[in-house]
Chains A and B, each alone.
Chain A
Amino acid sequence: MSQHSIKPHGHNEQSHDSTGHDHGSYRSYLTGFVLAAILTIIPFAVVMSGGFDSRVLTAVTVIGFAVVQVLVHMVYFLHMNTRSDEGWTMLSMIFTIIVVVIMIAGSVWVMFNLNTNMMPSMDHESFQGFGS
């Protein structure tokens, strides 16, 4: 193995190797970074300025920005595409997402029902600030 066996890739837009892996470019990394920064700053600004009147609206906004930012990171930083490793990368990720959604949604759903059915009703508001 020689010291300089890495073939130099040019600055062209997108460089791929034989297995469909995408190396990205300075421009794609910068695009991803600017998008990610905007998608981070907005939810932080929303929450730090006190949020909207409706807590649900604030929560939905923050989660929405997070989902979009995860997609931006996947595309621009992790270079996800349907071609790399003949699509196995994408397939294993879709499988993982399905398992994760079932696990988190199922846990929250089951435990929420368990709590509301098993716990004696209690006024949580009266405990706010106690000991904090």
Chain B
Amino acid sequence: MSTVTHTDTPAVYWETEPHHHPEGGSTRLGFWIYLMSDCLMFAVLFAVFAVVGQSYAAGPGPKALFDLNLIAINTGFLLVSSITFGFAMLAMYEGRQARMQIWLAVTLLLGLAFLALEIYEFHHLIELGAGPQRSAFLSAFFALVGTHGLHVLFGCIWLVTLMVQINQKGLIPANTRRMECLSMFWHFLDVIWIGVFTFVYLLGMI
């Protein structure tokens, strides 16, 4: 058979079916774009702090209020929690669920310790009469640091939810995907904290 055979099926010039993507394949990129928009929101809060951060209204300034030892400890909590979350992710990719849960629990404890110290700091400032209504500087400070703290709080709630879900349903692809999103969220919060401790605390204390 050396002749070229023509098949009867017509040539297809376009695809009638949309491209098939694996389920949840675009979740990571979508979540990343959410994080970038979150980043813009933090940028606005940083800009507000940069503009009014010197407006003390004859009230207390950073040097009278901040305790760098406390901030250093809090920074340590967040930094260590970043690596413990990383270890949880590695344990997950290895399929070792129990090990992953232990690392997640350690991460959660560090997150809660961070929140406890931050609440202590806020409470201390408000008791001193340096609440958010004292000056533009303090309003901007509470808005910026408080928003970051709220993010950490929601991260902790999400972490507990995922730990329960993984306990019940195991490391199904949906849970793996959720873990990847939370991992990005957690590391992103650590990046924002670098900006906070640099621009709010360290530069304020110079």
Contact = CB atoms under 8 A, between A and B. Distances in A.
Could you say which interface size class chain A belongs to?
Answer: 35 or more
A44 B188 CA distance: 21
Interface in A46-98: 47-48, 51, 55, 58-59, 62-63, 65-66, 69-70, 73-74, 77-78, 84-85, 88-89, 92-93, 95-96
Interface string B50-62: 1100001011110
Interface in B110-125: none
B45 to A, nearest CB: 10
Interface residues of B, number: 59
A10 B47 CA distance: 44
Nearest to A57: B206
Contacts, number: 153
A40 B60 contact: no
A15 interface: yes
B206 A23 contact: no
B172 A1 contact: yes
Interface in B125-166: none
19 contacts: A1-B173, A3-B170, A4-B171, A19-B25, A21-B28, A63-B203, A66-B198, A73-B82, A77-B86, A78-B187, A78-B188, A85-B29, A89-B29, A92-B33, A103-B44, A107-B47, A108-B51, A131-B58, A131-B60
